[in-house]
Structure 1
Amino acid sequence: MNATAMVERLLGEDGKLSMVAAGALLGEGQGGAPIHPATVTRWCLKGVKVAGGRRLQLEHIRAGGKLITTRAAIVRFLAAQTSTPDGTAVPRTPAERRRSTDAAVAELEKLGV
């Protein structure tokens, strides 16, 4: 989606949020504190890794020096991380497969097989 379309989409949605408000909306993180605004900012600028190693960014616009997102953008961001589009299992990464294999080999050796 190009920048103009992103701005039009987010400005047309209700529930515009600052990074502080977005963190508070998401509730408590580790230790019971709200999600820190820097975390939400990182999701906007750098994104998070999802299945297949691609990065998913929280949709946002910049107004002056301020980042703004919407409640709907947060819902889309969380939904995209939560499930795969076709409901299939997310493939394991090579590192996950290697750890699983190593654990299975260790278990077999422990059993004497």
Structure 2
Amino acid sequence: MKTVENLPERLRQLRLQQELSQENMADMLGISTTAYGDIERGRTELTISRLEKIAQVLGVSLPDLLGLSATTLTETEWLRRENQRLNLENSRLRQALDQWQRKFQEWVAAALVRNAQESRERIGFK
């Protein structure tokens, strides 16, 4: 399974992000530094309880630790998607505005015709 193969490297990256040494991790997990080093080298089979403890120490969920969670979007990807969403909303609003403008023009035209007819009737034209 690709996730398990990448787990030792993922552990290392997460540990380094937390600015922890292998010695710090080993102490927090209650194991020797050599035993923790073997975990990061992929030489140790991990139990679920050990994985949960590692996830807790690193401040991540177990699915995140295992790489099973949905990947987070990069800022660029998020901005691209947000731009797409805003463009769609802008297009929808333009269509609504166009409809209201047409309706307004129809109302104005109808009012002008009505006023013209009323004026003609006042002066005696039918």
TM-score by length of 2: 0.31
Query: Which structure has the higher relative contact order (CA within 8 Å, separation 6+)?
Result: 1
Computing the radius of gyration over CA atoms, which structure comes out larger, 1 or 2?
2
Query: Which structure: greater strand fraction?
Result: 1
Q: What TM-score results when the alignment is normalised by the length of structure 1?
A: 0.34
| Bigger helix fraction | 2
